[in-house]
Amino acid sequence: MQSLIFYLEPWEFSPTVLLACLLPTAAYLRGLVLTRRAGGTIGFWPPLSYFVGVALIYISLQTYADFLSQHMFWVHRLQQGILHHIAPFLVTLAAPWEIMARGTPRVLRERILRPVLGNRTVQLLYRVLQHPLVAPTIFVGLLYFWLIPSVHFTAMLDVYRYNAMNWSMVVDGMFFWWIMLAPRSAQGHASIAYPLRVVIFFIVMLFQIVLGAYITLHGSVLYTVYALCGRVWNINPMTDQQWGGLLTWVLPSMMCVLGILVVLRRMLHEPDTRPVAASAMAGVSGQ
């Protein structure tokens, strides 16, 4: 029991991580209660998907797992795969935004969320970022950027860049997976046709396979920062890099395949001609 507590305790306590996980979850829980009191039906799987996704973010950023990710490349790649792919996939698959908006206190909705999310500049920025060319470019581009050896070296040694790397993965992951997974009938969702989403997934998967293959098959050590920090476990540097490359190769590809399956299911069960709102943020602001 003592060892389990040790691994789950915050390695470097971050109020930001705690609040970022706790406050939306509190709003989601309150929204669930209010929805059920009003006679609405939520089901079992959406809340489970949401809670598991948030738990994975917390574990990746706030427990001993974060320490391991700073000292072994393959653990780092697993952490980033969770933050950029698995956790956002689970959270957005639950489509929690409407329930979270309902669970947010009215004063916060009216005085903060509605003015900010209803701002024309914010909505314009959102429409640009949800463009079918822009969103996947940023999604893949961030992955490539943080794995440039020189950029990765400085990010792993500077706490501010390290935090920026992790949070950019989480935020961009939430944004991308929501655009790709949400029903076209969802209020405020981008009007991306389902067949186009499948094409985007294949392109994104291809670029991630190329990156993972490059890292896995490279003949020398690319990420020397882990030798400087010291690896926690006795593992050959090339083996560490190859495992990390395989995770970069396989895990994102697996998530893209799952995304394609979700989209295909929506194509079969939902007409692709329903009207959509201009902005998801505008939809939230109208709650």
- Segments in 82-132 forming alpha helices (H): 87-93, 97-103, 106-108, 114-117, 120-129
Rg (CA), the chain: 20
Positive or negative torsion for Cα 161, 165, 170, 174: positive
Domains of the chain by residue range:
2-285
pLDDT class for 285, splitting at 50, 70, 90? very low
- On whether the CB atoms of residues 77 and 246 are closer than 8 A, the answer is no
Of the ranges 55-64, 77-86, 118-127, 254-263, which one carries the lowest mean pLDDT score?
A: 118-127
pLDDT class for 8, splitting at 50, 70, 90? confident
Say what the pLDDT of residue 244 is. Answer: 97
pLDDT tens-place string over residues 179-202: 999 887 665 555 688 999 999 999
Mean pLDDT score across all residues of the chain: 88
